[in-house]
Amino acid sequence: MRAVLAAMLLAVSACATTPGEPTGDSVIQAKAIRELERRSGGRLGIAVVDARGKLVSADRGHERFAMCSTFKLLLAGQVFERAAKGVSLRTPLSFTRADLVSHSPGTEKLLGSDGRGEQRLGMAARDTVVLGDNTAANLILTQMGGPAVFTAALRRAGDTVTRLDRIETELNQNAPGDERDTTSPIAMATSAAAYIFGNRLQPGYRKQLRSWMVESQTGLARIRAGLPQDWLVGDKTGSCGTAYNDVAFAEAPDGRKYVIAIYLDRPTVEGAAANAVIAEATRLTMESIETAE
């Protein structure tokens, strides 16, 4: 009798699935992501949340990655938050030639022959998102009180992960093991969703932020390239030389809304090939989500 009972228990345990163990399509998708990561030679982090900020899908979602310029999306959101509290978007941001850093296509055009120039807070926010303007981001950070103030605003909103410690272009260093200027895919996607779809911003400011993301052309070969052409998509990229990142909102024709954050750290591929990894990661992830739904 004992032998029979033991055999039955063994048979049941052999057939049972461990609680929470991925099965079916999720296993196939996870294996495809791992293979894509292997081919990239780097570390790939993905998070997708819905319009309410609820997590839909993640892979290495809690791991830290250098933000590079993706922080500028949240920075622009904070500018609009401050505007709702009375800070004028026409606040002048004065600068000199010495303040200019690399990749500042909007701000550098405002530099006068005397070596001085002036941005406006609202236009600086626009240039950080649409153009990825580094000097504009620095001017905003200076005006608001520095990277620590940026991070403190995220903490008050519940983001305990994302941190900004330096300004452009030092924040792009991405030294191994350095947690400065990092986020996780889940933290970034969740914080971004609060600005893009949530109630962190007044409707007019929320609409403006989204329009800037759509206007930006820097990410056409990244997340956007992995989504159907009839979806409405806007994004903010970030590139550090050792990292290729993208954060986007995506709206399907049937009304489904998502924020997607993808971080590719230290790949052995570069340029167009790295962009293609992000596009393929997007395609695989969203196909898995649609299958599950």
Catalytic residues: 69
What is the DSSP secondary-structure string of 197-243? TSSSS-HHHHHHHHHHHHH--TTTTTGGGGS-TTSEEEEEEEE-SSE
Q: How many CB atoms lie within 10 A of CB 63?
A: 16
Whole-angstrom Cα distance, residue 216 to residue 223? Answer: 13
Half-sphere exposure of 203 (CA within 13 A, CB side): 0
Whole-angstrom Cα distance, residue 58 to residue 44? Answer: 11
What are the Cα distances from residue 115, in Å, to 7, 99, 194? 85, 10, 39
Helix ranges (DSSP H) in 50-100: 71-84
55 by DSSP, 3-state: which? Answer: strand
Amino acid at 236: K
Crossing angle (nearest 10°) for helices 203-215 and 121-130: 40
Whole-angstrom Cα distance, residue 161 to residue 265? Answer: 18
Q: Which phi-psi region, left, alpha or beta, contains residue 50 (left: φ > 0; alpha: ψ -120 to 50)?
A: beta
Identify the H or E element spanning 135.
helix 134-144
Whole-angstrom Cα distance, residue 81 to residue 22? Answer: 40
What are the Cα distances from residue 143, in Å, to 37, 89, 121? 39, 12, 9
